[in-house]
Amino acid sequence: MDKLLIRGGTALRGEVAISGAKNAALPILCASLLAAEPLYLSNLPQLRDVSTMLRLLEQMGVEVVCHAPDMVSLNSRGLHNPLAPYDMVKTMRASILVLGPLLARHGEARVSLPGGCAIGARPVEQHIKGLQAMGAEVNVEHGYIHACCAADKGRLQGACIVTDMVTVTGTENLMMAAVLAEGETIIENAAREPEVVDLADCLISMGAQISGAGTDKIRIRGVERLHGARHSIMADRIETGTYLCAAAATGGEVRLTRTSAAYLDAVVDKLLDAGCDIVTERDAIRLKAPARLKAVSVRTSPYPAFPTDMQAQFMAINCVAEGSAVIRETIFENRFMHAVELIRLGADIRIDANNAMVTGVERLDGATVMATDLRASASLVIAGLVAQGETVIDRIYHLDRGYEKIEEKLRQLGARVERIR
Ligand code: EPZ
């Protein structure tokens, strides 16, 4: 397994381009199942999860053509195998996002239940409950979700769905199911994440009738069929936030391009509180770090509040900040796995249920640490960039799932990083 070797102590400087968003690309790739005409996608990030999703769609009969490293077209006119097998789903939970579109377009689907994951149990009962409200017959047997449209209807029916909690992929799955349903569907307590809006924009360009995406009430009027379209994936706000934190923690100065601060208000506010100077441009963002950051407390919550996918990175920057801070995780029940690894680098962190008290220390010291999930590995990269000496991060396949060419981008900013194959 690949490892990352980081020689810390260098302030990041310079410019780097941000890639397309993983969490927009994955549902949008699944939207290709909804039409029998080509969907052209650009600004597609080159990530492990994207490759997995493309392979999953191909084995269903979707024609995938790569036109450039970040551009593909998908055509599901030959869709014949509405199955998402366990071997693929176990490597990527987002595979659940084929359920809604397969049911809507093909009338049936067989999708492996995603198991638990390092950060929490992550059940999908809201996805199933919503599809049942639209008239789907759903059984869970032998680890698989078997779903089909009611025989007498042959098509999903519009419904009013209130989810018990805000769920991002739940909202996306139900939105994709509803675009071809008979009548109107209303999703209440919907997720407002920008990635949900990017998916809705893509679906609308395919002929869907959707209003209210980005609010907690989404209306979808079903249509007979969708057509082909072209869509450019939005910039990755979490990748953007991660590089801002890396620059802040190392005392650096960077300009991130092909992105914007548009969807990062909560993150930018906290970095300003920590003492950073931030200048936003139309499609770029600049950060200049202070000599030493001030500790900032954060509480994760659904968008537009502070994102849980930035929690680990802020734990890392608080490790070397002045003062103490409390990190409260309210979305996932087990998302502090990175804390014990950060402590191996000399951090002072005390965990009490879903609160972590971080007290800044003068310096971190390089060591060998292990990545446990995607964002946890990003926090270890940030800590390794700050730490004196060498840090070796094991199991970086987690990192490759969500960060495109991270060592090249960091080297572009002056970091001393190399991948050990
Ligand atoms: C999406 O996951 C993201 N993944 C996650 O990013 C992100 O952390 C999460 O939203 C929250 O922002 C993708 O978009 C592919 P949820 P998702 O359903 O949709 C509970 C990353 O690092 N819940 O919004 O799976 C659930 O257990 C990843 O890029 C149920 O109980 O998250 C959690 O506690 C990690 N039942 C909460 O709701 C359900 O049916 C929110 O989960 C659905 C969710």
- DSSP string for 83-104: EE-HHHHTT-GGGGGGHHHHHH
Q: Which residues of the chain have pLDDT under 70?
A: 116
Across the chain, which distance is largest between two alpha carbons, in Å? Answer: 69
Residues with CB under 6 A from ligand 1: 22-23, 26, 94, 120, 122-127, 165, 167-170, 308-309, 331-332, 374-375, 402
Among 415, 376, 367, 418, CA closest to 399: 376
Identify the bridge partners of residue 351 per DSSP, sorted by sequence position.
356
Contact assessment for residue 320 and residue 290, using Cβ atoms and an 8 Å cutoff: no
3-state secondary structure of 399: helix
Please tell me the predicted confidence (pLDDT) of residue 152: 82
Please tell me the predicted confidence (pLDDT) of residue 307: 98
Please tell me the predicted confidence (pLDDT) of residue 390: 98
Tokens 């199991």, residue?
395
Report d(CA 30, CA 286) in Å as an integer.
34
Q: Whose CA is nearest to atom 7 of ligand 1?
A: 309
**DSSP strand pairing (3-7 vs 284-288):** unpaired
CA distances from 405 to 297, 321, 398 (A): 30, 28, 13
Q: Is the pTM of this model over 0.75?
A: yes
Give the ligand 1 atom nearest the CA of 122. 27
Tokens 């936030």, residue?
241
List the Cα angle 250/409/20 in 5-degree steps.
Answer: 115
Tokens of 405: 């060419």
**DSSP strand pairing (298-299 vs 348-352):** unpaired
Q: Which one of 167, 306, 403 would you pick to mutate in the ligand 1 pocket, going by the greatest count of ligand atoms within 8 A of its CB?
A: 167
3-state secondary structure of 340: helix
**DSSP strand pairing (184-188 vs 160-162):** parallel
- 266 alpha carbon to ligand 1 midpoint, in Å? 19
**Catalytic (active site) residue 276:** no
Q: Which one of 19, 22, 23, 338 would you pick to mutate in the ligand 1 pocket, going by the greatest count of ligand atoms within 8 A of its CB?
A: 23
Give the ligand 1 atom nearest the CA of 303. 12
Tokens of 322: 């002045």
Which residues fall within 8 angstroms of residue 328, CB to CB, at 6 or more apart?
A: 297, 298, 299, 300, 354, 355, 356
Report d(CA 67, CA 87) in Å as an integer.
28
Report d(CA 319, CA 344) in Å as an integer.
12
Please tell me the predicted confidence (pLDDT) of residue 354: 97
Please tell me the predicted confidence (pLDDT) of residue 389: 98
* Helix (H), strand (E) at residue 138: strand 136-141
Among 402, 282, 371, CA closest to 20: 402
Please tell me the predicted confidence (pLDDT) of residue 145: 97
Report d(CA 236, CA 65) in Å as an integer.
23
Contact assessment for residue 218 and residue 166, using Cβ atoms and an 8 Å cutoff: no
Backbone angles phi and psi of 180, in degrees to 5: -115, 10
- As a whole number of Å, the end-to-end CA separation of the chain is 7
- 293 alpha carbon to ligand 1 midpoint, in Å? 30
Which residues fall within 8 angstroms of residue 43, CB to CB, at 6 or more apart?
A: 19, 20, 70, 71, 232, 233, 234, 235, 258
- 159 alpha carbon to ligand 1 midpoint, in Å? 23
Please tell me the predicted confidence (pLDDT) of residue 118: 81
**DSSP strand pairing (3-7 vs 390-394):** antiparallel
Please tell me the predicted confidence (pLDDT) of residue 121: 84
Report d(CA 77, CA 62) in Å as an integer.
7
Tokens 């996002």, residue?
97
Tokens of 400: 């490759």
